[in-house]
Chain A
Amino acid sequence: EAGVAQSPRYKIIEKRQSVAFWCNPISGHATLYWYQQILGQGPKLLIQFQNNGVVDDSQLPKDRFSAERLKGVDSTLKIQPAKLEDSAVYLCASSRLSVGEPNTEAFFGQGTRLTVV
């Protein structure tokens, strides 16, 4: 079974520029998560999709971050404009989870390491 694919692996941008990350989850996985992981910390959930609908985006800084999951498969996360504190690894994860079944493991992609200078 193919894993979660993310691109790009690395990205360096200047502050105030925009950037987009792409994620292709494991086939058949209904739930997709985007996490932000700052060096030395645990992954922080930004947004959770169930198919193509948003389940939770309470931690997403909506003034600069946006995410979509068209057709319930691939997803993109965008930052516009970027700030220095956005430097982090952005992890995408997917699971078979359906809402109401919180006990399914998540599979993570390799992540995109973003550096904002």
Chain B
Amino acid sequence: QQPVQSPQAVILREGEDAVINCSSSKALYSVHWYRQKHGEAPVFLMILLKGGEQKGHEKISASFNEKKQQSSLYLTASQLSYSGTYFCGTPYNQGGKLIFGQGTELSVKP
């Protein structure tokens, strides 16, 4: 079952903050976050392995609430380079079949 992301699209000015949410109706073993720029392959950002875990990558961080079956990606002081489509992915089962959400398109304007 595909995780659901919100919002579908965000437009920011440089320096502004954004939050992208990912939720699932199934139990989450972990949550993966990827960024894909137009015409390029998705690039791995981070993985959260257990409830309560938080991680950071540059000024991008994420949290994972296992009980609520959701994860949030936080982009602070956004830069032009943050533009792209962000996907969350969750393993479907212990076998690791990685299922992606529909994506959130982030546009950072000067």
Interface secondary structure of B, over-half rule: loop
Given A45-B97, A55-B97, A105 and B44 contact (CB-CB distance below 8 Å): yes
B30 engages A91 (CB within 8 Å): no
Given A43-B87, A108-B42, A111-B41, A99 and B95 contact (CB-CB distance below 8 Å): yes
Q: Which of these, B34, B94, B102, contacts A102 with CB under 8 Å? A: B94
State how many residues of chain A have any CB contact under 8 Å with chain B.
29
Number of A-B contacts (CB under 8 A): 68
Given A45-B99, A48-B97, A56-B95, A103 and B44 contact (CB-CB distance below 8 Å): no
Given A42-B2, A42-B87, A42-B103, A106 and B41 contact (CB-CB distance below 8 Å): no
Task: Note all chain A residues with C-beta closer than 8 A to B58.
Answer: none
Residue A33 is within 8 A (CB to CB) of chain B in the complex? yes
- Expressed in whole angstroms, the Cα–Cα distance for A91 and B100 within the complex equals 13
